[in-house]
Amino acid sequence: MTKKINKVKMVISDVDGVWTDGAIYKGGNGLELKKFCVTDGAGVAILRQAGLKLALISGRFSEATAERASELKIEDLYNGTLNKIPPYNELKVKYNLSDDEIAYVGDDLIDIPVMNLVGVPIATDNASSLCKAAALYVTKNSGGNGAFREAVEWILSKQGVLEKTLEELRVKVQGQ
């Protein structure tokens, strides 16, 4: 397992059910709200400090998802893509990566086709049983409650760079 994880250069994640608890709050005039976990945003900073790439592929289009991705300066967002294989293949070409250099974090049926391709498939605690069965690791946290950050820290820990990365990030933040 460690051999597989050591190859990871990119993490791709679903959004609803991973970065959120899957709930959608609807108001008048098309207003839509989602709750995002701040620790997952910190997970983005940790991932970047470690030098890994990040992309989001969400099956459901949402302005809230676009705004959160923009806020975190996530360039690669595929927002409203039920078939996740085409964007996955685009990302592989764009970054010249092979399947075994990618980890994917998902929670439901539409994530399984990509999970079956990547070197390190990860499911959240709240994922469907079929999604969990496709995973190499299942987070202890559920989506919207730090599952993405947990996945990032798990990868970096298995790569043996988590403590170094956290210290570098701490020094960087204190120097600002």
Domain assignments of the chain as residue spans, ordered by start: 2-174
pLDDT above 90: residue 176? no
Q: 126 falls in which pLDDT band (50, 70, 90)?
A: very high
Question: For 33-78, how does the pLDDT look when each residue is reduced to its tens digit (9 = 90+)?
Answer: 999 999 999 999 999 999 999 999 999 999 999 999 999 999 999 9
Structure token digits, residue 143: 């989506």
For 91, what's the count of Cα atoms within 13 Å in the CB-facing half-sphere? 26
pLDDT at 92 over 90: yes
* H or E stretch covering 135: none
Confidence of residue 30 (pLDDT cuts 50, 70, 90): confident
The pLDDT, as a whole number, for residue 64 is: 94
Q: Residue 173 above 90 pLDDT?
A: no
Query: What CATH architecture is 2-174?
Result: 3-Layer(aba) Sandwich (3.40)
Distance CA 8, CA 159 (A): 9
For range 123-134, the mean pLDDT? 98
Residue with token string 């079929």: 130
Average pLDDT over all residues of the chain: 96
Question: What ranges in 16-62 are assigned the alpha helix state H?
Answer: 38-49
pLDDT value, residue 136: 97
Strands (E), the chain: 10-13, 25-26, 32-33, 53-58, 76-79, 102-106, 120-123, 137-138
- Phi/psi class of residue 56: alpha, beta or left (left: φ > 0; alpha: ψ in -120 to 50)? beta
Q: Give the pLDDT score at 1.
A: 78
The model carries a pTM of: 0.96
| High-pLDDT (> 70) share of the chain, % | 100
Q: Is the pLDDT of residue 133 over 80?
A: yes
The whole-angstrom separation of Cα 57 and Cα 54 is 10
Q: What is the mean pLDDT of residues 14-18?
A: 98
Share of the chain above pLDDT 90, in %: 92
Per-residue confidence at 155, pLDDT binned at 50, 70, 90? very high
